[in-house]
Amino acid sequence: MSITADGYLNGTRPAPDELLPSAVPVRFVTEEGTAADAPSEYAASSDDRLGEAYRRMVVARRFDQQASALTRQGRLAVYPSSRGQEACQVAGALALRQQDWLFPTYRDTAAVVSRGVDPVEVLTLLRGDWHCGYDPVATRVAPLCTPLATQLLHAVGMADALRRRGEDAVVMAFVGDGGTSEGDFHEALNFAAVFGAPVVFLIQNNQYAISVPLAEQTAAPALAYKGVGYGVRSEQVDGNDLVAVLAVLDEAVEHARSGHGPFLVEAHTYRLDGHTNADDPGRYRDEEEVRRWAAADPLPRLQAWLRTRGTLTDQDIDAAQAEAEALAADLRARIELDGPPDVLEMFDHVYTHPTPQLNEQRRSLETEVEGTEA
């Protein structure tokens, strides 16, 4: 089905109460891996699909650990860990079809790997190279975006272009809680709503904008309410409950794909490690808080749920771990086969005819590099 959004653009817009998120985050599974008390109106995925999500989460966790280790060894310039946020990362990728697009932030490397992009290519930018490492058009994954929220307007523009071309495709745009305080976030929501763009905004609220706690950057009752003012249907979900995140994102993607305009989802989660390898989180959060969130770790939580239902065996767990170890070994072996990036390449694609100032900067850096290597 092609997306025209004519019904959305020319029809009656949703009533305000139809846009509001649930009063509490949607949840299917408790921290202990048992069924949540309150039933949800969202449809849970099949056991087979949840098993696939578990496999991807095991791989994502191991990829994150390996990337962090590579950084400590000096083989990556920087790495922003997403340990603890695997339910959001994997569900965001799993909810998409092949023709859809993903717009990640710098922290969403696990989501990009889960989308099927070569892990070595995913880490290229974080090695310090000037390009993102993979083909965005071929993979339908935009480059990892470091500036906060700037990718959201690009995502909405892409979604609007897909809609105008009649393509059956949806865009998933990731953003952190700190990004929702940026002007680009608000412009993107307004643009998406006015033009009925088929885009899903996934806010990973990991409680901190680097070191600034959520309460010190917003007075909103929940970040999901920020969508309502722009006419965007919104929802909030327990971001460490993979079953819930995937159920909500499935509905959000279908909402956008069927021509009903954008959808905003806030996933309440937690970054178990520092902002990056250069950060000391002990300076702004206490150990008790970290222990409390570690007890809600999404990976053992899903594993307990699937084992209780009898759909995850010891053999399944061993196979997932073996696959994850193989990926880590392959990553270690291939990450530096191309040698260190050529820093002078950053000047090659700025202008067709470089300016005198740029040529001067190039000569200056070239002299510095030669001095370092001498």
What are the structural domains of the chain? Answer: 16-341 (3.40.50.970), 342-373 (no CATH)
Portion of the chain with pLDDT greater than 90, in percent: 86
Residue 349 has pLDDT above 90, yes or no: no
CA distance 102 to 97: 10
One-character DSSP codes across 272-315: -S-SSTT--GGGTS-HHHHHHHHTT-HHHHHHHHHHHTT---HH
Residue 189 has pLDDT above 50, yes or no: yes
Residue of 154, 186, 257, 284 marked active site: 284
Does the pLDDT of residue 299 top 70, yes or no? yes
pTM over 0.75: yes
Tell me the pLDDT tens digit for each residue of 215-247. Answer: 999 999 999 999 999 999 999 999 999 999 999
- pLDDT surpassing 80 at residue 10: no
Which listed residue (56, 107, 271, 301) is catalytic?
A: 271
Percentage of residues of the chain with pLDDT beyond 70: 96
How far, in Å, CA of 117 to CA of 110, rounded? Answer: 10
Alpha-carbon Rg for the chain, nearest whole angstrom, is: 21
State the pLDDT at residue 1.
Answer: 42
Residue 303 has pLDDT above 70, yes or no: yes
Predicted local distance difference test score (pLDDT) of residue 264: 98
Per-state percent for the chain, helix, strand, coil, to nearest 5: 50, 10, 40
How many CB atoms within 10 Å of residue 132? 19
Told to judge if 270 belongs to the known catalytic residues of this protein, a careful annotator would answer no
Bigger pLDDT: 336 or 199? Answer: 199
pLDDT for 340 beyond 80: no
Active site residue 275: yes
DSSP 35: B
Assess whether pLDDT exceeds 70 at residue 5: no
Give the side-chain half-sphere CA count within 13 A for 366.
10
Q: How confident is the model at residue 15 (pLDDT cuts 50, 70, 90)?
A: confident
> Residue 2 — pLDDT band, cuts 50, 70, 90?
very low
Q: What is the pLDDT of residue 86?
A: 98
Pairing of strands 212-213, 208-209: antiparallel
| Rounded CA separation 170/158 (Å) | 9
The mean per-residue pLDDT over the stretch 267-273 comes to: 97
Please identify which residue in the block is written with the tokens 């570690």.
Answer: 294
